Homo-oligomer: A and B are copies of this chain.
Amino acid sequence: MSLSVQFELSKEYLEKLKLAIEQDDGAFVRETMEGVNPADISAVLEAFNAEESKYVLDQLDTWVGAQIISDLDNDTRKEFLKVFGPEEIAKYIAIIDSDDGADILNELPVKDREKIIAGLDHEEKVSYLLDLLRYEEDTAGGLMAKELIKANINWTVIQCIDEIRRQAGNVEKIYSMYVVDDRDKLLGRVSLKKIILSDDATRIADIYSDDIISVQTFMEDTEVASLMQKYDLVAVPVVNLQGKLVGRITIDDIVDVITESAEQERQIMSGISEDVEEDDNLWVLTRARLPWLIFGLFGGLLGAKVIGFFEADIRRITEIALFIPLIMATGGNVGIQSSSIIVQSLASRSVFEETTLRRLFKVLIVALVNGLVLGIVVLGISYWILEWENLKFAVVVSIALFCVVLLASFMGTATPLLLNRFNINPALASGPFITTANDILGLGVYLVVVRLFYTI
């Protein structure tokens, strides 16, 4: 097995490394990192500050350094690159794949960006980067790399092999060659397997497959992800409006898109308003958390207002206060369950979508069943087990609970559908928003039901 797997990070090693950096012991850095996978070194560097990391990078091969920089977490990299001069960054950018290169440039101030591009003497790379900088980050254009291997339809196999040889240094991972016409229009692809198994003189036109799935530059990254997932692709060619081949997206970038959007959804569901991690500083953590907390606070104050309208009832029947938590909690739980099921079904958009009416009807039935069961359970427990003398009030609570379950199911279903219609992320409906809205509505329903029964 290789060194890269055996490389185990220990606290001890980190301490030794820190000491070596302090004492300017470059030999230690070089020796212990020899043959280690760059992704592992990136992980180590997350624990060091920018100057220390730069010291480590300066000891290593430029190629290794370039991989490490591509691998670094965006936030870390931003800090990290501040201690580098534009010429130094240019040295790495020249080696890094164009998609990662463009990402790095996008993270830098415009002034630095121009200096770096001016400092690149690799003409092809410059044109790649300038092209990529034009695209929005979350589109196929923003994800793709310009490095790919293409073959003209009129070539023979031996010409393809020559092209692979010529590009071997630029394109690290080759899965297949894209076949284009004289105007670079994408026609199909030919797998390396086919190239290996065909005679040198075979014409590409005779062996290529025109059954190729491609995406357009403006396609959203999450759409590219579901497409690649659906068709089990490891790479997908990107074409412009004229059908010209302009880049290639590989699955590793798509895996990152999938992971990030899952993370983002968790944050939305938890009422965290910006992308934070546990190790962010206090200010960032607080800033990400306060907005929804304050929103919830206003919800709570509105709830106080609602209860205030019924203060006289509560004075008369103190039991009303007892069941406020029950009503709120159940409303919240039902709402989140409902919205979560809808959000999931919106995400895995099936071809055979149910109509909104049918959806709501089904939700209604499930809500009726849930509401009935919960109502009966509450009635049973409060009457038999808690041996509650006030049967009438137990019945009223059950009825109110039933209504709240229906309402929360409806809200939990309708809100994500509505958000989705307006192109807002429907996951927002599984967050504090729905809970707060359900809290207030649920309270209102509860108190109105109570009053109805006690004034009739």
Residues of A within 8 A of B (CB): 1-5, 9, 14, 35, 37, 39, 43-44, 46-47, 161, 164-165, 168, 173-175, 186, 188, 191-193, 195-197, 210-214, 228-232, 234, 243, 251-252, 254-256, 258-259, 262-263, 265-267, 269-272, 276-279, 282, 285-286, 289-290, 292-294, 296-297, 299-301, 303-304, 307-308, 311, 314-315, 318, 320-330, 332-334, 336-337, 339-345, 348, 350-352, 354, 359, 362, 365-366, 369-370, 373-374, 377-378, 381-382, 386, 430, 432, 435-436, 439-440, 443
Q: How far is the CB of A250 from chain B (nearest CB, A)?
A: 8
In the complex, A348 Cα to B439 Cα: how many Å? Answer: 33
Provided the pairs A161-B196, A300-B329, A311-B318 are in contact, do residues A14 and B211 lie with their beta carbons within 8 angstroms?
Answer: no
In the complex, A344 Cα to B269 Cα: how many Å? Answer: 13
Contact B211 A2 (CB under 8 A): yes
In the complex, A270 Cα to B320 Cα: how many Å? Answer: 28
Which listed residue (B46, B266, B436) contacts A329, Cβ 8 A?
Answer: B436
Q: How far is the CB of A293 from chain B (nearest CB, A)?
A: 6
In the assembly, how many copies of this chain are there?
2
For A259, the closest partner residue in chain B by CB is B258
Which listed residue (B168, B341, B378) contacts A272, Cβ 8 A?
Answer: B341
Provided the pairs A196-B195, A255-B229, A330-B297 are in contact, do residues A336 and B164 lie with their beta carbons within 8 angstroms?
Answer: no
For A232, the closest partner residue in chain B by CB is B252
Contact A269 B266 (CB under 8 A): yes
For A233, the closest partner residue in chain B by CB is B252
**13 examples of A-B residue contacts, CB within 8 angstroms:** A2-B188, A2-B212, A39-B231, A164-B193, A229-B256, A282-B366, A293-B370, A293-B374, A297-B374, A300-B328, A325-B439, A325-B440, A333-B435
In the complex, A164 Cα to B198 Cα: how many Å? Answer: 12
In the complex, A44 Cα to B174 Cα: how many Å? Answer: 33
Contact A197 B377 (CB under 8 A): no
User: In the complex, which of the residues A44, A188, A269 has the most CB atoms of chain B within 10 Å of its own CB atom?
Assistant: A269
Contact B174 A270 (CB under 8 A): no
Contact A174 B193 (CB under 8 A): yes
Q: How far is the CB of A180 from chain B (nearest CB, A)?
A: 13
In the complex, A334 Cα to B343 Cα: how many Å? Answer: 23
Complex contacts, A255 vs chain B, CB 8 Å: 228-229, 251, 254-255, 258
Contact A325 B345 (CB under 8 A): no
In the complex, A4 Cα to B230 Cα: how many Å? Answer: 12
Q: How far is the CB of A98 from chain B (nearest CB, A)?
A: 16
Provided the pairs A324-B324, A326-B301 are in contact, do residues A366 and B39 lie with their beta carbons within 8 angstroms?
Answer: no
